[in-house]
Amino acid sequence: MKVLVIGSGGREHALVWKLRQSPRITQLYCAPGNGGISREAECVPVDQKSLESLVALANQLRPDLTVVGPELPLQIGIVDEFTRRGWPVFGPTKAAAQLETSKGFAKEFMQRYRIPTAHYAICNSMGEVKMRSRALADRWS
Full residue range of the structural domain in which residue 63 is found: 2-97
Do 26 and 91 share a structural domain? yes
Which pLDDT value is given to residue 63?
98
CB 113 within 8 A of CB 86: no
Secondary structure element (H or E) that encloses residue 31, with its range: strand 27-32
Please state, in angstroms and as integers, the Cα–Cα distance from residue 110 to each residue in 88, 105, 116, following that order.
30, 9, 7
pLDDT of residue 141 exceeding 80: no
**Number of structural domains found in the chain:** 2
For residues 60 and 128, state if they share a domain: no
Q: Do residues 93 and 107 both lie within one domain? A: no
What is the tens place of the pLDDT at every residue in 78-126?
Answer: 999 999 999 999 999 999 999 988 899 999 999 999 999 998 888 899 9
pLDDT of residue 132 exceeding 90: no
Same domain for 88 and 25: yes
Same domain, 31 and 87: yes
Residue 109 shares a structural domain with residue 78: no
Regarding whether 107 and 88 lie in a shared domain, the answer is no
Q: Are strands 2-7 and 65-68 parallel, antiparallel or unpaired?
A: parallel
Q: What is the pLDDT of residues 21-46, one digit of tens each?
A: 999 999 999 999 999 999 999 999 99
Residues 47, 116: one domain? no
* The pLDDT of residue 5 is above 90: yes
Dihedral angle sign, alpha carbons of residues 82, 86, 56, 4: positive
- pLDDT for 94 equals 96
Same domain, 76 and 118: no
